[in-house]
Each structure stands twice: as C-alpha cells, then as structure tokens.
Amino acid sequence: CACADGYIYLAGYESGLYVVEYEKSKRERRNPTFSSSKSRCKYNAHKLFSCNGQIHNTVEYKGYYLIAAGNDGLLAVDDKGNVKHKIAQGRTVSDVRCGYGFVFAAEGCDGTAVYSFDEQAGFVLRDRIFSPKKFIHTRHLAVLTDGIIAMQIGEHDIDFARISNDGKLTHIDFLQTNTLMYYRNLCQPLLCGKYFGCTSLNKGVSWFKISHNGIERTEYTLGRETCPIECGVAATEEYAVIIFERKYAVLRDITRSDASKLDFKSVDGANIKGIPFICGSKLVLVNRCLATVEIIDISNPDNPIFEDRLTVDGYPCSAELINGEICVSCGHGGVYVIK
C-alpha cells in the first residue's frame, strides 16, 4: 500500500493493482480501477458443502463425500451436499483417509480412529490408537502399502501402524524426524510403490523406504528450507512432482546419486505457488494465503501446461479426485467441486 498525490495504491499477489483517488471530503470517492491477468476460464467451481467447522480434506467412500470438518467431526455427505451421517461427534477431525476397506480419521489428542460402514448400523468405530507420545495430537494420515498407516504426530514425529483384517491397528514403528513439520506434510501414494515422502520446513523433502519390517530412511533429501504454504511434494507410482521456490521438478528415481540435483523450471503462465496434489492427469496447487487453486496439465510430466487459476472462499488446503472431478477443501470456505 502507498499514498501519493491524492491517490492510494493497493497491490496484491493475485489481485493486480487498485488505484483509489480521494478528495478532501471523505464522502466523495471515485470507484477504484482494477486490472489483473485474466484466467483462461477453462474450469468452473461450485460449492458443494459448507459448515461451521474448518474443513481440512475430503475423500470418497461408499458413494459419500467423507469430510474432515474440524470441530464438526467427520461428516458423510451426498452429491447434493446433504449430510447423511455424522461421525466422531464431539471430536476434532483434521484428516480422513480410506484404505483396506476402512476409514481412518485423525482426531487430534484422541488419536487415530478406525471406522467401518454397515448399511444398517452406518459408520461403526472399530479401533482407536494413540501415539507413544501421550497428549500429542494426530494431525495428518497416509495410507501406505502392506496395510501400513502413517500418522503425523505433532510437529516432529511420524508413527506407523498396521491394520488387520478385522480393523485393529498395531504399532510397528515410530520415527523421530528431528525436524519441523508444519501441517499437511505426508505424501501419498508411495513413489514407485515403496518410497514414502514427507516435507519439513528446514530439510525439504525426505524419503523413507517402506518394507514389511518397518521404515528405512533413504539418503535423499531436498536439503533446502521449504515454505509450508507454497512448496511440497506429490507422488504417483511412476514419479513425484516437487514444488520449490515457484519452480517445478520431476523425480523418478531417488536411488540415483544425482537425485538431489533436480531440474527445477518455471511453467509458462503459472505462478507455481501452493501445496501440490496430483488428481489424475492434473497437478493442483492450493494456496491458502492467496485463496487460489491452480491447475496444470501433467499428462506429460516433463512438459507441464498451465490450464487455469481459480479463486475460492476460505483457504484451500487439500485436493482430491472424486468421481472424475477435482474436490478442494477450503477450511471455513467449504468444499468446492471443480470441473
């Protein structure tokens, strides 16, 4: 913001420049002029659902949108935005994941809960597991291979458990990362089916090899400080996309000696600012500070193509591909479906 010669100049990252002329009388003021680069408008977004709670993420399960809705618990919503089941009421749910036929919910100081679904009984609690560190809340989950569930505990540690066929969780490993993790730092699915990634603030991306007997740290880290709102990693079975300092890079083999020397590059038309999520052939970058969702075509990961940038209510914090559509969870702004 700046003032000069009777004008007020207001500039923002995404909003362009506002110029307001003011008179001596505070009653008279011209309408501000506004300019910014226009989106290509390839996608449309509509709000599916909102509530009083802070919505962290949304997944699909048994035909429902399962929503981690903060203080509103875990909600099962139909495709019209109607709440059909209220789960984990009275608890704070910061993440929800599905796998091996079960629903896993991160419920803060109440640990990680396991739910199953029955047509007659609805959602039924099967088990609950707490961190070895008492009173430290569970923040984020990742469903890995061989029945393994990863749980971000507080800001420094990752707990690992294995789910049984009857829905019981058993601790198998506990990893002290010796670094600081911010909020949504666990990467899924596994890169090449066996490497699990997480993003920390001071080390960047670290990778762990998953084996039946536990977790093995690999030698690969990005090795540079990352921004928890504008950087991150997203993986597929074939490759991982790393976003760092408004640059884009593809990683295919972390066992190579030059893996840390990635070819970071810009993408024409894209800001490359946000936490990355891979939704089919699209890379979705969500930026909670700017309230933007950026969509990049990565059908050919080595040649990413910017497609669109949208502004949403609230602060977008996660994206999932549900029924062929991009579903973005936006905190108190609700859940958006982009198509």
DSSP 271-298: ---SEEEEETTEEEEEETTTTEEEEEE-
Q: What is the pLDDT of residue 257?
A: 63
Q: What is the pLDDT of residue 211?
A: 76
Q: What is the pLDDT of residue 241?
A: 92
**Torsions phi, psi for 134 (to 5 deg):** -60, 145
Per the CB < 8 A criterion, the answer to whether 72 and 83 are in contact is: no
Per the CB < 8 A criterion, the answer to whether 55 and 65 are in contact is: no
Q: Is 12 exposed, middle or buried (0-12, 13-18, 19+ CB in 10 A)?
A: exposed
**Measured between alpha carbons, how far is 190 from 195 in angstroms, rounded to an integer?**
5
Which residues are paired to 3 by β-bridges?
A: 8
Per the CB < 8 A criterion, the answer to whether 307 and 40 are in contact is: yes
Per the CB < 8 A criterion, the answer to whether 311 and 270 are in contact is: no
What burial letters (b/e) apply to 230-267, b meaning 16+ CB within 10 Å?
bbbbbbeeebbbbbbebebbbbeebeeeebbebeeeeb
Locate tokens 């003021």: which residue?
29
**Measured between alpha carbons, how far is 136 from 131 in angstroms, rounded to an integer?**
7
Locate tokens 């010669």: which residue?
5
What letter does residue 15 receive in the DSSP assignment? T
Q: What is the pLDDT of residue 13?
A: 47
Q: Which pTM was predicted? A: 0.85
Per the CB < 8 A criterion, the answer to whether 32 and 20 are in contact is: yes
178's tokens: 């010796």
Q: What is the pLDDT along the chain (339 residues), one digit of tens a residue?
A: 766 656 676 665 444 555 655 544 444 434 433 333 344 568 999 999 999 999 999 999 999 999 999 999 999 999 999 999 999 999 999 999 999 999 999 999 899 999 999 988 999 999 999 877 766 789 999 999 889 999 998 888 889 999 999 999 999 888 887 777 776 788 878 888 888 888 877 777 788 888 776 788 765 676 666 776 688 889 998 999 989 889 999 988 887 766 667 889 999 999 999 999 999 999 999 998 899 999 999 999 999 999 999 999 999 999 999 999 999 999 999 999 999
292's tokens: 């933007």
**Measured between alpha carbons, how far is 71 from 92 in angstroms, rounded to an integer?**
4
